[in-house]
Amino acid sequence: MLTRRSLALSALAVPLATTARAQSPEPWRKADRLYTDDFTHSLANWIVEAEQPSKVAAENGVLELDAPAGITAWFKPRLTGPVLIEYQALAVYEGGRNDRISDLNAFWMATDVRSPDDLFASPRTGAFAGYDLLKTYYVGQGGNYNSSTRLRRYVGRPGDRPMLPEHDLKDARALLQPNRWVAVQLVAYDGLVQYWADGRKLFEMRDQDPYAAGWFGLRTTWSRLRFKDFTVWRLEAA
């Protein structure tokens, strides 16, 4: 079920780019619940871009992406920060042809340089290179056959996917485990960008030119992933 309350605008720019420092209290807290999807009403809230024919279903409280190649499921509403996006995700490993345990990925605050006010006016094929024209934050957890987890800040130029060296993690605690739900949280709070997995902050970046509004997309390639408990919150100062 989709619900909506009023959105709040963000207007604060802050200095650029540091890695996560885990011990200090967070400057944000949850305020209003803006959107939820309980995945019992099919794909009414999502637009899917698939590189090859794929199985996509939202039923019985779970969204499943079963894809032999690149696929992105975009949440239709445009989000305006400060926001927290949270959901649970599971990498399926049950002997299916696409059960690879790789690429629990996400875009957030995404806009397309070809049509900044309407992400869907410039559709993509699902191939990864087609997303280079986005301005967005991106995390690929368990990418490259579950060998790395990376944060990138896309700048809307073909072939240019900037990444700081400290945003390329290979620690096993940052990777995926088969058939295990992980609680994911994505933060865009006045230039503060964070990615959390099971309460552990994997990435933190401060962006001097933040992406304050845009779209959210679930992304994978050649994998079978399940999602549940999707919610978007408006954040306020702690």
pLDDT at 37: 98
Nearest to 151 by CA among 177, 178, 186: 186
133 phi and psi, to 5 degrees? Answer: -85, 10
For 78-104, the pLDDT digits (tens) are 999 999 999 999 999 999 999 999 999
Stated as kind and residue range, the H or E segment containing 11 is none
Q: Is residue 71 packed enough to be buried (19+ CB in 10 Å), middle (13-18) or exposed (0-12)?
A: buried
Beta partners for residue 87, in sequence order: 184
DSSP 8-class letter at 119: G
Judge whether residue 58 has pLDDT over 60: yes
Angle made by CA atoms 88, 89, 90, in degrees to the nearest 5: 135
Q: What is the mean pLDDT of the chain?
A: 91
* CATH for 28-237 (1.10.10.10, 1.10.150.120, 3.40.50.720, 2.60.120.560): 2.60.120.560
Nearest to 138 by CA among 83, 68, 215: 215
Q: Is residue 238 packed enough to be buried (19+ CB in 10 Å), middle (13-18) or exposed (0-12)?
A: exposed
pLDDT at 218: 98
DSSP 8-class letter at 77: S
Angle made by CA atoms 144, 131, 230, in degrees to the nearest 5: 75
Beta partners for residue 50, in sequence order: 71
Judge whether residue 16 has pLDDT over 60: no
Residue 118 DSSP SS3: coil
pLDDT at 24: 65
Nearest to 102 by CA among 91, 110, 111: 91
Strand blocks (E) in the chain: 28-37, 46-50, 55-59, 62-75, 79-80, 83-91, 104-112, 134-142, 148-155, 168-169, 182-189, 192-197, 200-206, 213-237
Quote the pTM value: 0.90
Cα–Cα dist 197/71, whole Å: 22
The residues spanned by each domain of the chain are: 28-237
